[in-house]
Structure 1
Amino acid sequence: MAMVHVGIDVSKDRLDVHVLPDGLAFAVARDGAGLASLIERLLPLSPHLVAVEATGGFETVVAATLAEAGLPLVVVNPAQVRHYAQALGRRAKTDPIDAAMIARFVEATQPEVRALPDAATRLLSDLVARRRQIIEMIVSEKNRQHRTTVPRIAKSIARLIKALEKELVEIDGEVDTAVRGSPVWRAREDLLASVPGVGALTARTLIAEMPELGTLDAKRIASLAGLPPYTRQSGRWIGKAMIGGGRKTVRSALFLAALVACRHNPVLKLFRDRLVAAGKPKMVAVIAAARKLLTILNAMLRDEKPWQSA
């Protein structure tokens, strides 16, 4: 019996569904009644995989509902699905076509099913993301403040910066309360922050954005962060290896932590210096240090042991 794969395209008002291999296609409203109808129709099919695209927030309730119903859910990257469609020569793009492409993509690639973060972890992730957005807004306003010569505009910018900084303090307080109020998160933060170069912000970003840390092997956890280099070669041409993909926020946090660790962490400093002495560019050495740092943090959480320099 052929395995059943389901692709779901999520839009603001409805869900387009495509089922393989029989080609069944239907749509339901993106509300409580529609989700209940969707679950009722999918459960008897016993699907091998049910996939939805990450669509900037619209998929959150849908994914949570499917997971709670016990369906094998995967959330896929829309860029990967689109590249897959382009590779097949499918240029047309409608919601039903997208649902079919999602189903074909997961049927071909068989992505791994991962448990969704619980409500508390999702809240912490949202708070960390909001903190990052506020900091970006503060930086933008300060850049405008340096460029303006109009007193009225300068006063407006100053008021907005003050309001944003006040909101940042409140967000930091909520993040601190969430992390320190959970014995599990508090223990994880203390373990992560015991590494020289890893501060509270990096630790909390990892807790919020990478709950798999400590449960996967080194290669898979590095892949989630987009840190392993991939080869670029064609015939005799060999390009520079690049990194990319994965979770950008985690990768950025680890890169900044690695910059600090390469100065103050004896293990990573020695690792980075050896690479530079071997002729590696300094940026490549720091990225390699970030990957090694992630491997160390992953092992520490797995073994529940704090940092030991030796």
Structure 2
Amino acid sequence: MDEQRTIFVGIDVSKDRLDVHLRPSGEAFHVARDTKGLEVLARRFGSLPVALVVLEATGGFEASVAAALAVAGLPLCIVNPRQIRDFARAMGRLAKTDTLDAEVIALFAERIRPPARPLPEPERSHFAELVSRRRQIIGMINMETNRRDQAVDKQLIRRLNRHITFLERELSELDGDIGQAIKASPVWCETEALLKSVPGVGDVTARTLLAQLPELGTIGRHQLAALVGIAPINRDSGLMRGRRSIAGGRTSVRGVLYMAALTTIRRGSPFRPFYERLTLRGRPRKVALVAVMRKLLVTLNAIVRNRTPWQSVMA
């Protein structure tokens, strides 16, 4: 964590009001839980060295607050209220008011330092289910299309065509649901736009990354490559040096990065010269393509972390 970012913020969320406490200064204030109040918070925190903002999950009231602060680029974590209660008991803090709750949450942020999460977990899980279902339907369409192409019986072909049409209609409706989910969340809407500003990254890649890789923008490039499964794995023993390969990780993310990397190479984006340099040095094309995938992932990670769109130079 950057040593300059030393302010920890606790926010107690209620239906109409937000009680805020800052550590270590002890400053406390409150704002209304409405658009104006959220704008005030975003502006105020935007000029401060904030290390972490912590909110309690309060049955949905925290969602709009989390979205507004995340869009402002603030490191944010939503925690279970039970964690705060247990922490308060351990600290001997038994009294309870909104102002005191905000202070306890700020203390929790400062001393426990839970990892910042870029998206509210219940919303992200729902979004991940939609994206996963989309991938399943596409797989079924491909399988049914292959069966139709191999079929001879005309009646069977008609039945397969009906099923393919049904699946395509389901896919269209699901795409609409995914689009609405993104539009309903300022966090996703802005992050999707940032991701799609990169050459080769379209709707499917951006939405898969949003759903399946919430760590994007919050961890280092080496950790991220290992998480996705595109970091070379050593296979050495004694004096023997085995071939480096990639394995494990999140296959759905790796799949969309593969297609995005192919697109960037074929369309002559700024990633193509990097690919060509590797192949000219004798690297196999598949190895060079994986290197492009890693470079693309590193670029996306920096863009989301810095909240700045793609510029026509490689990160």
Q: Distance in 2 between matches of 1:114 and 1:195?
A: 25
Letter in 2 for 1:137: M
* Residues 148-206 of structure 1: CA deviation (Å, up to 9, x unaligned): 11122111111110110000000000001111221111110111101111111101110
- In structure 2, do the counterparts of structure 1 residues 265 and 301 end up closer, same or farther at CA, with 3 Å as the change threshold? farther
Q: Once the 2 structures are TM-superposed, how far is the Cα of residue 67 of structure 1 from its aligned partner? A: 6.1
Map residues 194-273 of structure 1 onto 2, 5 A cutoff: 194-264=197-267, 266-273=269-276
Q: Distance in 1 between matches of 2:266 and 2:149?
A: 31
Map residues 97-116 of structure 1 onto 2, 5 A cutoff: none
**Which of 128, 131, 136 lines up with 2:134 in the alignment?**
131
* Residues 89-123 of structure 1: CA deviation (Å, up to 9, x unaligned): xxxxxxxxxxxxxxxxxxxxxxx988695111111
Name 1:286's counterpart in structure 2.
289
Q: Distance in 2 between matches of 1:231 and 1:207?
A: 30
The answer to whether the 8 A contact 1:230-1:242 is kept is yes
Task: Indicate the SS of the match to 1:267.
Answer: coil
Q: Distance in 1 between matches of 2:181 and 2:120?
A: 15
Name 1:70's counterpart in structure 2.
83
Name 2:303's counterpart in structure 1.
300
- In structure 2, do the counterparts of structure 1 residues 237 and 169 end up closer, same or farther at CA, with 3 Å as the change threshold? same
TM-score between both structures, scaled by the size of structure 2: 0.62
Name 2:110's counterpart in structure 1.
none
Task: Indicate the SS of the match to 2:271.
Answer: helix
Q: Once the 2 structures are TM-superposed, how far is the Cα of residue 281 of structure 1 from its aligned partner? A: 0.3
Q: Could you tell me the percent identity over the aligned residues? A: 43
TM-score between both structures, scaled by the size of structure 1: 0.62
**Which of 183, 197, 207 lines up with 1:180 in the alignment?**
183
- In structure 2, do the counterparts of structure 1 residues 205 and 278 end up closer, same or farther at CA, with 3 Å as the change threshold? same
Structure 1: stretches of 5+ with no match in the other structure: 1-65, 72-111
Name 1:165's counterpart in structure 2.
168
**Which of 291, 309, 312 lines up with 1:309 in the alignment?**
312
Task: Indicate the SS of the match to 1:230.
Answer: coil
Give the RMSD, CA atoms, in angstroms.
Answer: 2.1
Map residues 74-85 of structure 1 onto 2, 5 A cutoff: none
Task: Indicate the SS of the match to 1:216.
Answer: coil
